Amino acid sequence: MIAFMSQYMMFDGRIEPYQRADDVGYAISEFLWFEERPFYPASALAQAKVAQVNLCSLQGSEDNQDNCDLVFQMPKADGGHFYEIVMRSDNGTAYGGWAWGETLECLDQIANGYRVLRTQIHETQASFEYSSKSRRYGPTSKLLMDKKALRPGWQSAMIKG
């Protein structure tokens, strides 16, 4: 399991300088919006927790700060968390998509050059893969939660049936 141990905006001793760098901030500004509208209130970012992972391959080191991807665990919504992904490499930093569930795991399985993510949602597991076309992570099948259905004000986004 991925351990989310520190709140992002508090910048406590566990938040590294590279985690709050401007390039990461620009990627964060992308996931704060969805489909040209604000998606998260500022308080959601203040409550977010962050973890560093290596998504690009099975090999590599999480000690290489320039290439360490970040995953933000956003506050719980309808029984799960949105996990917002910031991808970092020698070529730059970019928003890398999202996952949703109660827990998030980074698998050793590779799809399109990146590690597959798996979430647990109640009794069900969901997989998220990187798409070379969209250059972002997304679900491999229909979820109980649809980011498009979530409206400002954190109203319910559960899909019925």
Q: What is the pLDDT of residues 60-100, one digit of tens each?
A: 555 666 678 999 999 987 778 999 999 998 888 999 999 99
- Residue 9's pLDDT is 62
pLDDT of 22 above 80: no
Are the beta carbons of 89 and 83 closer than 8 angstroms? no
Say what the pTM is.
0.79
**Any domain includes 93:** yes
Range of the domain at 71: 6-149
Q: Count up the domains in the chain and report the number.
A: 1
Contact predicate 147/34, CB 8 Å: yes
Does some domain include residue 155? no
* 37 pLDDT above the threshold of 50: yes
In a domain, 20, yes or no: yes
Q: H-type helices in 32-131, by residue range?
A: 42-47
pLDDT at 149: 63
pLDDT exceeds 80 at position 141: yes
Angle at 46 between CA 124 and CA 71, to 5 degrees: 45
Sequence letter at residue 76:
K
Question: Largest Cα–Cα distance of the chain, in whole Å?
Answer: 45
* pLDDT at residue 154 greater than cutoff 70: no
Residue 55: inside a domain: yes
Cα–Cα–Cα angle for 117, 89, 99, rounded to 5 degrees: 25
Cα(4)–Cα(103) distance, integer angstroms: 10
In a domain, residue 156? The reply is no
Using alpha carbons, select from 86, 68, 67 the residue that is nearest to residue 24: 86
Instruction: Report pLDDT for 111.
Output: 94
Please indicate, yes or no, if residue 52 is contained in any of the structural domains.
yes
82 is a domain residue: yes
d(CA 54, CA 52) in angstroms, rounded, equals 7
Is 161 domain-assigned? no
